[in-house]
Chains A and B, each alone.
Chain A
Amino acid sequence: MLNRTIAPKITDATGFTLTLPPFEKHRLRNGVDIFMLNLGELDTLMINWVFDAGNFYEEKNLVAGAANYLLKNGTTSKSAYAINEHFEYYGSYLSRSCQNEFADVTLHCLGKHVHELLPVVAEIFTVSVFPQEELDIFKKNMQQRLLVGLKKSDFVAGRMIDAYLFGEKHPYGRMSSVEDYESLHRDEIAEFFDRYYHQGRCVIFVAGKIPTGLIQQMEREFGSLPMLAHVEAAVKHHHIIHAKEKKYRINNDPNGVQGSIRIARNFPNRHHPDFQKMQVLNNLFGGFFGSRLMSNIREEKGYTYGIHSYLMNHVEQSAFLITTEAGKEVCEATIEEVYKEMAILREDPVDEEELSTTRNFMIGVILGDLDGPFQVASRWKNIVLNNLDANYFYRSIDIIKTISSAELQDLASKYFRPEEFYELVVV
């Protein structure tokens, strides 16, 4: 008879050797680097062009985002429809996104179709024209989307907390408004495109099962474009202005039944020696389902469907953030519990069992995550764009395996100081 009260023996995940599969680097004639990861058995491919074209570079709010969004809405020879139809005809997805430091264009396709698609990507980077009619549609639709967003407490809370942390003038804290959309002009978008895409700094990541001849084709399509190589620390500097007031309560919807709670503090970037250690403390505190915040506030008290903490993914400066949507009547109780959990971590060392559970869980997650080519590429991308190297990955593994409970307590004492946190509830 099986004794079900005894757990099967486990291999300690901290004993596993994790390897970040290496990339092959190819430099195009114009100096632009391609990081390539030839991994996977299915005929899937991802090509990601990253430009120094995030909202760090715009002179006027929303110009960077508009340029990024409208890139595929018309070239000198193709309409927006023709471009979309071309990518969709080959079953591919050309997506784009604009962040703070960087802006991306990403192609997902089956390897067998890639040769039909790259010429059109190159065309987009060269002769995009930003038709007035497309801009008008974009403005209207984004304004409407914003109006819906402003009705959502989580959306409002998200933008307010960013503004407290970094200031409304900083790209990390800047908000959009209906008026900002209204005042966008075609010419400034076209100029931004010319400077930051057409002749901008670019780095390319390719992952998946790489078809033969891909490098040659990349060279043909992109090697003679006027784009420049990505360089370390090219990021424009912006002043961070922290809000003076720490606590906010905003009433956004008189009929709201939940509050969006955000509790956050500024935190240094990945180059700071505490960053990777903080990842471990974060994990234990609110980083996953078994974390202390989840166990207490969801699984013990039932105040929320979920509560999470994380370090923001910014290059210049990060922030440590706790976020949850809780019943309107239990918002203050939730906040109190968050601070209590901080206090416990400041005052009592984490016991060996919980620490070992955290180590194993984190290693297990990384192991699972290293499985797919796109996930590996995204780790490399993080390393490259943050001016780090492969050692960063191995140091991170090492810290997970060896950080002591005393170090975690020191970190908690240093960073879990309630008086340094911004605190916001939007109902």
Chain B
Amino acid sequence: MIDNLKRKKAVLELSNGMKFEGKLIGYDGAVSGEMVFNTGMLGYSESMSDPSYIGQILVFSFCLIGNYGVPKLENDNFLTALGHESSSIKTQGIIVSEIFDESYHYGSMIPLEQWMIEQKVPGIAGIDTRYLVQTIRNTRNLFGWIVPEGCKKENTIRKFPFIENFKKDEYIDPSKFNLMPTVSTKERKVFGTGNKKVAVVDCGVKWNILRMLVDRGCQIELVPWDTDFSTVEADGWLISNGPGDPRNTGDLVERVKVLLKGNKPVLGICLGHQIISLASGAKIKKMPYGHRSHNQPVFIIPEQKAFMTSQNHSYTVDPSTITKDWSLWFENANDKGVEGIRHKTKPFMSVQFHPEASSGPNDTAWILSEFIEKL
């Protein structure tokens, strides 16, 4: 429970001119970012540490956030750090209706607000998050500043490399720049043991993808996004999730095209799916309403087999541009959008949603198993 009255004020200033006043939570400093929301009711630590959210201010539509604290994170060991999708908070800041500033859950390392303070992440509580979600939903390209009382609007506290591209008082717009250098690993790393070897192209990979591969008996080599793929020995490739506009990823699409000329299994997830789609010749468009929730219904078209999935994206594959060698694999049951494509003859598949969940439902975890079987 927070005592709202005793807290410092903070204002959320939006690029459309609107202002929302609330109370400061977390670190006492200003940040700016692209406004996004998620309607998942649980899993805030997973979302906040998900590299896909880099450069963004995340609004939780659910009214009570922080109830179970932040799960333990020991020595950055992703295998045991369930509840974390990277080693630190990636969002610029968060907006909530109410934050719970204690933690009583046995698995908690620290209350949510403490984590934010440690990681220099500010936020605002006491905001009508439902109204804010409606505002974001209805406004294309909305950006915001979190400004605690007495703070200047300066992009100084969040230290990600791409932020240096922006002026001090400019709205951070993460899709303006190629974010791969910021989120991708700097060096090649090997995890796990097993006779199947998967190369994971790190576009901002969520730890749960790595965990699930290791759990399923794979050895993985995590490679930087700009690795020369011909130098990597692997039985199959996984192009990971990540932030930003898939068209703004340097020469990644071109290099993936080369992979698609081969015959080794390739799996794309989220941004990775969009990269593969581009590489296959399909086109990408921005959606009227992005998918930002744990309850996106998708189904495999011929069998009408349906799954609940976790999603976070505002770009989608234009179904009319899917090329002749590929077929539509999954479709969204709400808006009929493309949720997955698969190659007609080769072992290439890619999905818009997150089979690794975390947070969200595990209904499509089988996709990773199926991918591994093909190796």
Instruction: Please indicate whether A and B come from the same complex rather than being unrelated chains.
Output: no
Give B residues with C-beta under 8 Å from A: none
Give A residues with C-beta under 8 Å from B: none
